[in-house]
Structure 1
Amino acid sequence: MTLANKLGITDSVILAREEERISKKKAAELFDKGILINLPAGRFETLQVIHRYLFEDIHEFAGKVRNVNLAKGNFRFAPVMYLNAALEGIDSMPQSDFDEIVEKYVEMNIAHPFREGNGRSTRIWLDHMLGNNTGMVIDWSLVDKEDYLLAMERSPIRDIEIKHVLKNALKKDTGSREIYMKGIDHSYYYEGYTTFRTGNL
């Protein structure tokens, strides 16, 4: 099933290709234009800005909190009726060190606030939070796909694995366009975790 989109594309493979092309370009613009610099780290409003910027040319729902329930396999993300409360709770979580930041990242993944494109947006949000609070960012080219996917699947119950996977890829180059672009180039490598069923779950 292909999501309704501004491009009028009805083929899911073609839509995925265009989403990748357009959102990669827009993600690079986020860095080049310094849009992230003045945004508050770790806030949902910042994640909304990121998501809207990446997908505003593709989807009407860009930057908007979803109004459908989502699940991955047997795992259900935050139900719509509790989603706003969950996002308020995440905003109030501490983010003073690496462990707290990853815990916040895990909770945002469980919330999954958008209809599509959560993974891409949230990884930029994570690096923005890390850079502002720890002076470190993740070099996603050093993160093994299978390790990451398995760790993220288990993170709602046990987050020690995802912390280990991400800590081993930390770099101090917070202002490096090269490191940032590695995250953009590798973002689709990790998107296998974000295919969903929708409906009244």
Structure 2
Amino acid sequence: MNKYRSQSKYCYPETDVLINKFDEKDQEKLNKLETTFTTRRIYQLYNKPITGSFGLKHLQKIHRFIFQDVYSFAGEFREEQISKGKTTFAHPLHIQTYGMEIFKELKNERFLKDLNKEKIVERMSYFLGEVNILHPFREGNGRVQREFFRVLAMKNGFELDWSKVNQSEMIEASISSVNDSNAFKNIFMKNIVNEQPDIQLIKQFQSLKKSNELEL
């Protein structure tokens, strides 16, 4: 039984292996392929992030980019209910409406503009908890969330280094975030590199945004 506890329409019949572009039915081999190709894509995003508008479509663009080599459903919202452990994520029918509410709130907060480190950590913790419970994709939500919030932090002059946080810390915080909006505060305090907003980082983000707009 896989981590989502039931047979999935996204899996090969009578297996827990996600249908993939390599047609690889061995889970260990698929894990290695997925790690190889997604790591390469994430590295590319570090050099040229997808800036987007920090909404649902932005999440989809990031997911599509990271998983484009592995899954045909890259960038698509899941169409089945999933859970992990005791945590049940948003029903697929509610992903659009719930997601729009989350990102409208983020927009109303001016995408966390002009906040100091303590305050931006608090609000990013809240929003990461909300996006995590949304869990809009069948696979790869964690990687998409980390890249999304890395770019959001960059927009506001903060550099996130996710290598400072291990997987067990993220899992523990994810579980706690269901009932605690501050569950990710220690995570962000640990992985924010700079104490004060970096003007050069903000300018770098703005130049990337203009470059992306020109390409469109």
Q: Please classify the TM superposition score into its range, dividing by the shorter chain length.
A: 0.7 to 0.9
Flag structure 2 segments of 5+ consecutive residues without an equivalent.
1-15, 113-119, 202-216
Corresponding residue for residue 98 of structure 1: 121
Decide whether the 8 Å contact of 2:146 with 2:162 is kept in 1. no
Decide whether the 8 Å contact of 1:127 with 1:137 is kept in 2. yes
Superposed, 1:1-201 pairs within 5 Å as 1-32=16-47, 34-36=48-50, 38-40=51-53, 42-94=54-106, 95-96=111-112, 97-133=120-156, 135-172=157-194
C-alpha displacement at 1:110, in angstroms? 0.3
Decide whether the 8 Å contact of 1:90 with 1:107 is kept in 2. yes
Amino acid at match of 1:162: F
Q: Distance in 2 between matches of 1:159 and 1:104?
A: 8
Is the partner of 2:94 in helix, strand or coil? helix
C-alpha displacement at 1:35, in angstroms? 4.3
Q: Distance in 2 between matches of 1:29 and 1:75?
A: 32
Q: Distance in 1 between matches of 2:38 and 2:166?
A: 22
Amino acid at match of 2:139: E
- Deviations along 1:41-94, one digit per CA (max 9) or x if unpaired, are x32211111110111111111000110111001211001121111111111123
- The higher-RCO structure (CA 8 Å, 6+ apart) is 1
More strand by proportion, 1 or 2? 1
Flag structure 1 segments of 5+ consecutive residues without an equivalent.
176-201
C-alpha displacement at 1:144, in angstroms? 4.1
Closer/same/farther in 2, CA of residues 35 and 139 from structure 1, 3 Å limit: closer
Calculate percent identity across the aligned residue pairs.
Answer: 27
Q: Distance in 1 between matches of 2:22 and 2:98?
A: 32
Closer/same/farther in 2, CA of residues 86 and 18 from structure 1, 3 Å limit: same
- Deviations along 1:90-133, one digit per CA (max 9) or x if unpaired, are 11123313322221111111000001011111100011111112
- Deviations along 1:158-184, one digit per CA (max 9) or x if unpaired, are 132321232132113786xxxxxxxxx
Closer/same/farther in 2, CA of residues 136 and 62 from structure 1, 3 Å limit: same
Decide whether the 8 Å contact of 1:70 with 1:77 is kept in 2. yes
Tell which structure's C-alpha radius of gyration is larger. Answer: 2
Q: Distance in 2 between matches of 1:105 and 1:128?
A: 13
| CA RMSD across the alignment | 1.8
Decide whether the 8 Å contact of 2:49 with 2:151 is kept in 1. no
Aligned residue pairs, count? 171
Q: Distance in 1 between matches of 2:170 and 2:77?
A: 25
Corresponding residue for residue 8 of structure 2: none
Decide whether the 8 Å contact of 2:81 with 2:89 is kept in 1. yes
Q: TM-score by structure 2 length? A: 0.73
Closer/same/farther in 2, CA of residues 152 and 117 from structure 1, 3 Å limit: same
